[in-house]
């Protein structure tokens, strides 16, 4: 039997605190948001929609899981402490990445870009040496390592670095060079040695959903019944595989894989119903920055013109409980999150009075 609880009717800031104090909502991830409703899903069917505070006994453990904060990601401060998700800056040392391809092939240019992102407020840098855009040519680990190692060595002195790779040899080399996190778009399925490398090293890992393990063909597999439940089920399965291999859940972050074997409708549904993934008990990472569906909806053909649309999605993901945002435009994202937080919070003034009034 598979069960999922979908938190709905989300509130933020003062409204969230007041609703929790009045017994009308439950806190989401122990933070500044709350949920008023739950949709109970059993074996893919909706078994009920009701006020969160009236969840039947048999479902309460699953509901409680949504109220707890996820473990901190990679030893960094969590979203509740920061008041916003962590910001992971994207650095592709590739000639062909869809957005920044060709700009950072020279290690000096890559380093300058990394430092600019850190100054702009990035909490970590995600370094990749193989493009995973739909239809991209595969790159072997030797070439990939040659591209990224000098860059990782230099950046890791100043900031946490994750390595974006599906190759075990690249993971190993990057971790030795100072990377702290493995980010694998195939959720450690592409390379049979990948699970072992991550288990042995003790590093945190990002498990992302994509159909199959080959970006060249993934769009041909963009067919789902309920995309959210299938992605959640897939990620639950990969968490179990990791645990079996000796990678504990508290070292895992999960990612719905926006744009990876997904249509525009799939991407939007995954973003809207992102809170389903919070029940997995891991931080949720969202990487939607500058992706094609943003271009389609905002009418912007060139990825560099998709900043405003990306910010809209970043704020939507933050509001739905994302713990980490993987973005190209760090300064703009940090500013958007700061303003979203400030205008949605209103915490300092009034929250206590509301709580007192609720207590009667
Ligand atoms: N998206 C890309 C690459 N890696 N990793 C995670 N965890 N989540 C993502 O959504 C994700 C990712 C694709 O974006 P980008 O790196 O900018 O482009 P390319 O694959 O063309 O290098």
pLDDT, tens digit, 9 for 90 and up, residues 103-134: 888 889 999 999 999 999 999 999 999 998 88
Instruction: For residue 127, report the distance from its CA to the centre of ligand 1, in Å.
Output: 10
Nearest atom, ligand 1, residue 257 CA: 10
Q: Tokens 């994509």 identify what position?
A: 210
- Ligand 1, atom 9, lies closest to the CA of 287
Of 105, 127, 107, nearest to 175 by C-alpha is 127
Task: Compute the Cα dihedral for 218, 271, 208, 91 and give only its sign.
Answer: positive
Give Cα separations from 152 to 129, 169, 177, 193 (angstroms). 11, 15, 7, 22
Q: Is 291 considered catalytic here?
A: yes
- Ligand 1, atom 17, lies closest to the CA of 99
- Interatomic CA distance for residues 120 and 336, integer angstroms: 12
The pTM of the full predicted model, rounded to 2 decimals, is 0.95
- Interatomic CA distance for residues 283 and 277, integer angstroms: 9
For residues 203 and 226, is the Cβ–Cβ distance under 8 A?
no
How many beta carbons lie within 10 A of that of residue 50, not counting itself?
13
Band of the pLDDT at 175, cuts 50, 70, 90? Answer: very high
Nearest atom, ligand 1, residue 215 CA: 20
Strand pairing class (33-42; 26-28): antiparallel
Instruction: For residue 56, report the distance from its CA to the centre of ligand 1, in Å.
Output: 40
Q: Considering the candidates 133, 172, 290, 326, report the single residue annotated as catalytic.
A: 326
Report the range of poorest mean pLDDT among 89-103, 198-212, 241-255, 289-303. 89-103
Whether residue 350 is predicted with pLDDT greater than 70 in this model: the reply is: no
Q: Tokens 């990969």 identify what position?
A: 238
Most ligand 1 atoms within 8 A of CB, residue of 73, 105, 133 to mutate: 133
Tokens of 14: 């003062």
Instruction: For residue 65, report the distance from its CA to the centre of ligand 1, in Å.
Output: 29
Q: Considering the candidates 238, 251, 291, 341, report the single residue annotated as catalytic.
A: 291
- Ligand 1, atom 2, lies closest to the CA of 132
Instruction: For residue 211, report the distance from its CA to the centre of ligand 1, in Å.
Output: 15
Of 295, 336, 354, nearest to 84 by C-alpha is 336
Tokens of 32: 């500044």
- Ligand 1, atom 5, lies closest to the CA of 185
Most ligand 1 atoms within 8 A of CB, residue of 73, 85, 87, 90 to mutate: 90
Tokens of 65: 């899981």
In this prediction, residues 89-100 reach a mean pLDDT of 90
Q: Tell me what percent of the residues of the chain surpass a pLDDT of 70.
A: 97
- Interatomic CA distance for residues 99 and 124, integer angstroms: 19
pLDDT value, residue 93: 94
Whether residue 102 is predicted with pLDDT greater than 90 in this model: the reply is: no
Whether residue 14 is predicted with pLDDT greater than 60 in this model: the reply is: yes
In this prediction, residues 217-244 reach a mean pLDDT of 93
- For 45, the 3-state DSSP assignment is strand
Whether residue 161 is predicted with pLDDT greater than 90 in this model: the reply is: yes
- For 213, the 3-state DSSP assignment is coil
For residues 247 and 198, is the Cβ–Cβ distance under 8 A?
yes
Average pLDDT across the chain, whole number: 94
Band of the pLDDT at 345, cuts 50, 70, 90? Answer: low
pLDDT value, residue 352: 67
Tokens of 244: 């079996």
Instruction: For residue 259, report the distance from its CA to the centre of ligand 1, in Å.
Output: 9
- Interatomic CA distance for residues 64 and 281, integer angstroms: 10
Q: What angle do CA 267, 276, 123 make, to 5 degrees?
A: 75
- Interatomic CA distance for residues 254 and 239, integer angstroms: 9
Whether residue 328 is predicted with pLDDT greater than 70 in this model: the reply is: yes
Band of the pLDDT at 71, cuts 50, 70, 90? Answer: very high
- Buried b / exposed e along 290-301 (16+ C-beta atoms within 10 A): bbbbbbeeeebe
Nearest atom, ligand 1, residue 290 CA: 17
Instruction: For residue 98, report the distance from its CA to the centre of ligand 1, in Å.
Output: 9
Residues with CB under 6 A from ligand 1: 90, 92, 94, 97-99, 128, 131-133, 164, 183, 185, 206, 208, 255, 257-258, 285, 287, 326
Most ligand 1 atoms within 8 A of CB, residue of 110, 128, 162 to mutate: 128
- For 136, the 3-state DSSP assignment is coil
Q: Is 172 considered catalytic here?
A: no
Of 164, 8, 32, 89, nearest to 329 by C-alpha is 89
Instruction: For residue 154, report the distance from its CA to the centre of ligand 1, in Å.
Output: 22
pLDDT value, residue 325: 98
- For 292, the 3-state DSSP assignment is helix
Report the range of poorest mean pLDDT among 54-58, 92-96, 177-181, 294-298. 92-96
């Amino acid at each position: 039997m598979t069960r999922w609880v979908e938190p709905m009717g989300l509130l933020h800031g003062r409204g969230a605190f007041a609703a929790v104090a009045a017994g009308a909502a439950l806190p989401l991830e122990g933070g500044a948001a709350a949920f008023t409703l739950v949709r109970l899903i059993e074996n893919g069917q909706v078994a009920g929609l009701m006020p969160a505070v009236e969840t039947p006994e048999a479902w309460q453990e699953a509901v409680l899981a949504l109220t707890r904060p996820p473990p901190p990601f990679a030893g960094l401060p969590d979203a509740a402490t920061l008041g916003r998700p962590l910001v992971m800056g994207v650095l592709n040392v590739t000639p062909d990445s869809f957005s920044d391809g060709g700009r950072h092939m020279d290690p000096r240019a890559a380093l300058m870009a990394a430092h600019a992102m850190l100054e702009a407020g990035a909490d970590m840098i995600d370094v990749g040496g193989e493009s995973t855009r739909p239809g991209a040519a595969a790159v072997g680990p030797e070439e990939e390592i040659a591209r990224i190692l000098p860059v990782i060595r230099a950046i890791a002195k100043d900031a946490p670095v994750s390595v974006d790779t599906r190759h075990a040899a690249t993971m190993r080399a990057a971790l030795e060079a100072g990377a702290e996190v493995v980010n694998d778009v195939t959720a450690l399925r592409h390379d049979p040695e990948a699970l072992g490398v991550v288990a042995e090293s003790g590093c945190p890992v990002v498990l992302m959903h994509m159909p199959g393990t080959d970006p060249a063909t993934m769009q041909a597999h963009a067919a789902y019944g309920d995309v959210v439940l299938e992605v959640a089920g897939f990620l639950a399965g990969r968490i179990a595989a990791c645990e079996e291999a000796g990678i504990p859940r508290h070292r895992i972050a999960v990612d719905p894989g926006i744009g990876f074997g997904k249509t525009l409708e799939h991407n939007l549904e995954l973003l809207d119903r992102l809170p389903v993934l919070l029940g997995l008990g891991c931080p949720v990472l969202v990487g939607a920055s500058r992706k094609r569906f943003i271009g389609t909806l905002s009418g912007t053909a060139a990825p560099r013109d998709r900043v405003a649309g990306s910010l809209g999605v970043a704020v939507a993901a933050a509001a739905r409980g994302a713990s980490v945002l993987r973005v190209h435009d760090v300064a703009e994202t940090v500013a958007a999150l700061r303003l979203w937080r400030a205008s949605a919070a209103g915490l300092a003034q009034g929250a206590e009075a509301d709580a007192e009034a609720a207590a009667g």
